[in-house]
Chain A
Amino acid sequence: VSVPTEHLYVLAAILFGTGVLGFLIRSNVIIVLASIELMLNAANLTFVGASR
């Protein structure tokens, strides 16, 4: 797949920003944990992009 790696990084950054936003503005603990999982997945995506 000839998708540029920068686009992977951009996707990971958007996902991480969404996770940070959810972590900051939501008060429910379950949703906060889900936001943390979202951030962890963004980090995984960054590793994938760096490994290509």
Chain B
Amino acid sequence: LAEILFYLLALGAVGCGVGVVAARMPLFSVLFLLGSFFCLSGIYLLAGFQFLAATQLLVYAGAIMVLFLFVIMLLNLGEASELRRHAGQGLTRGRLAIAGVTAVAMVLVGVVSAGWGEPHAAAPTGEVATSRAAHGIDQLDAIADVLFGRYMLPFEAASILLLATMIAVIALAKRQRDEGASHEPRESTGWPWKKGVEQ
């Protein structure tokens, strides 16, 4: 039953991934991405990674999705065309070839390395997964042990780095806004039909 569930979730993840690429509006694309995240979270749960599944739901579906939706709804990107890249639009054969070659090469590398590395090392026995699933709390304990014990210093350094990045972004955005406010009246007098009036 779990295998059927896995393949259903995998199909859902791939379908939502295709939807992300094929959606016409960014809002639908982001909602498809949300569906893909949920399917992947279910796959993590089936594979016995409860903490990773919960983190996936909290961080991706909670934080990043809210960020995307805020950006879309605040900037009103339904049909806006300001945020468009100028270079390269459309589905050319070269781009399709690049994506296809990437996917096929990754599949080949994965299968070949799994098959050639050690015989039957890649196929996990069911006991490992079930024992890991049975001791989900121990798994969380192990993560906390490593994160707050051995890697305490990098963890805190990463938090300080994130704080510095946040302050820098606020400072940059504030400076840009101040400059824009000071330049705006000058630019408004710079219209071609107002020049004649002033002069």
Chain A interface residues (CB < 8 Å from chain B): 1-22, 24-35, 37-38, 41, 44-46, 48-49, 51-52
A1 touches B126 (CB 8 A): yes
B57 at interface by CB-CB < 8 Å: no
Q: Given contacts A4-B122, A30-B77, A38-B36, could you give 14 more A-B pairs where the C-beta distance is less than 8 Å?
A: A9-B110, A13-B107, A14-B17, A18-B17, A19-B17, A27-B84, A29-B83, A29-B84, A30-B30, A30-B68, A30-B83, A37-B60, A45-B40, A46-B110
A18 touches B88 (CB 8 A): no
Q: Considering only CB atoms and an 8 Å cut-off, how many residues of chain B contact the other chain?
A: 60
Given A27-B85, A48-B44, does the pair A11, B110 have CB atoms closer than 8 Å?
A: no
A45, B71: Cα distance in complex, Å: 27
| Interface SS, A side | helix
Residue of B nearest to A51 (CB): B49
Interface segment out of the listed B2-10, B155-163, B189-197:
B2-10
B47's partner among A25, A28, A41, A48 (CB-CB below 8 A) is A48
Residue of B nearest to A2 (CB): B126
> A29 CB to closest chain B CB, in angstroms?
4
A9, B3: Cα distance in complex, Å: 15
User: What residues of B have a CB within 8 angstroms of the CB of A31 in the complex?
Assistant: 20-21, 23, 26, 29
Given A37-B33, A41-B60, does the pair A1, B17 have CB atoms closer than 8 Å?
A: no
